[in-house]
Structure 1
Amino acid sequence: MSLSTDADFFRLLADSYRRLLNRSLVPDGMSAAEGAAWLYGEAPFGILAHNTAPDPVFVYGNRRAQAIFGYDWDELTALPSRLSAEPVERSERQAFLDQVTRDGFVSGYRGVRITKSGVRFWIEQATVWQLTDAAGNYRGQAAMIPDVRLMDGGA
């Protein structure tokens, strides 16, 4: 089953976000089904989530994230998340993710990423947070990407 509009997965994303950042991921008043559909199809920001595998793989990427990175759902959800950054950027990315693990979330992150076609770009003002279920079990990490900017010189 696809997690694209799965209400339970939406609750994991939204509840983890609310617990850590004390704000809503979606407009107030939406049911889980409405929130899941809005987040996947209409949100003006990218959302990505990866699992807890030793080499984490994206398990979720909303339509905005798919457009940003140039992958469709099936491609994105088969991609190890480390491949969203170029090899020279991966150690910086890992240090950042270690900080998220330690602190629960980080806001205001800026980093270089790469599209499927090789175009390098900045993610700006990103928030990355730990996904934990209601019982406190670690389920992965998620990122909200509100803004991107092509790097000078393009690809």
Structure 2
Amino acid sequence: MLQWCQYLLDSYAHWVKHELIPREGTPFDQAENLFNSAFVVVSHVIQDDPILNYGNQAALNLWEMNWRQFTKTPSRLTAESVNRLERSRMLSQAKEQGYISDYHGVRISYTGKRFFVDQATIWNIHKPDGNVLGQGATFSTWRFL
């Protein structure tokens, strides 16, 4: 997970041209700071039906899941079925462009609470050699519907 957090942070800085969190201390310190950030950070790996592989504490709280539940959840299930096509288009756009920074949409928690996400950034997560591993998302603005 430490290596994944480094890829996530390095890729965000690459695409967005600023750091997601202050890059102070060891990789462990940075992973701990990322996990405890007040804003949401999530990611999934690239595969046919991506499974969430990271969610910081803010994400776990928002989606009302523990780490084990969250990291077994198909990414598509973070949106209701009526919103999945729009979500898929957004992920494709981010994949083609490297990132997008103005995403908004409705998501749903594990217990069925609907919430509106605004001004989310979605970016490709890659290794230093450019090999794309997955996609990350972050946002600090949401409201329950």
* TM-score bracket for the superposition, by shorter chain length: over 0.9
Q: Structure 1 runs of 4+ off > 3 angstroms?
A: none
- Secondary structure of the equivalent of 2:65? coil
Q: What is the number of residues matched between the two proteins?
A: 145
Residue of structure 2 in register with 1:132 after alignment: 126
Q: Which runs of 5+ in 2 are unaligned?
A: none
Q: Which amino acid aligns with 2:75?
A: S
1: distance between equivalents of 2:29 and 2:113?
33
Q: Which runs of 5+ in 1 are unaligned?
A: none
1:12 aligns with 2:12: no
2: distance between equivalents of 1:71 and 1:149?
18
**Contact kept? 2:123, 2:137, Cα under 8 Å:** yes
Per the normalisation by structure 2, the TM-score is 0.96
Residue of structure 2 in register with 1:141 after alignment: 135
Residue of structure 1 in register with 2:62 after alignment: 68
Cα RMSD for the two superposed structures: 0.9
1: distance between equivalents of 2:34 and 2:49?
26
Instruction: Give the share of equivalent positions with the same residue, in percent.
Output: 34
2: distance between equivalents of 1:44 and 1:124?
15
Per the normalisation by structure 1, the TM-score is 0.90
Residue of structure 2 in register with 1:93 after alignment: 87
1: distance between equivalents of 2:16 and 2:49?
26
Residue of structure 2 in register with 1:33 after alignment: 28
**Contact kept? 2:8, 2:136, Cα under 8 Å:** yes
- Secondary structure of the equivalent of 1:24? coil
Using the TM superposition, give the Cα deviation of residue 16 of structure 1 relative to its aligned residue in structure 2, in angstroms. 0.2
2: distance between equivalents of 1:105 and 1:30?
27
1: distance between equivalents of 2:66 and 2:117?
19
Residue of structure 1 in register with 2:40 after alignment: 46
1: distance between equivalents of 2:69 and 2:126?
25
Residue of structure 2 in register with 1:109 after alignment: 103
Using the TM superposition, give the Cα deviation of residue 25 of structure 1 relative to its aligned residue in structure 2, in angstroms. 1.2
Bigger Cα displacement from structure 2, 130-139 vs 27-36: 27-36
- Secondary structure of the equivalent of 1:39? helix
Using the TM superposition, give the Cα deviation of residue 31 of structure 1 relative to its aligned residue in structure 2, in angstroms. 2.8
**Contact kept? 2:23, 2:30, Cα under 8 Å:** no
- Secondary structure of the equivalent of 1:53? coil
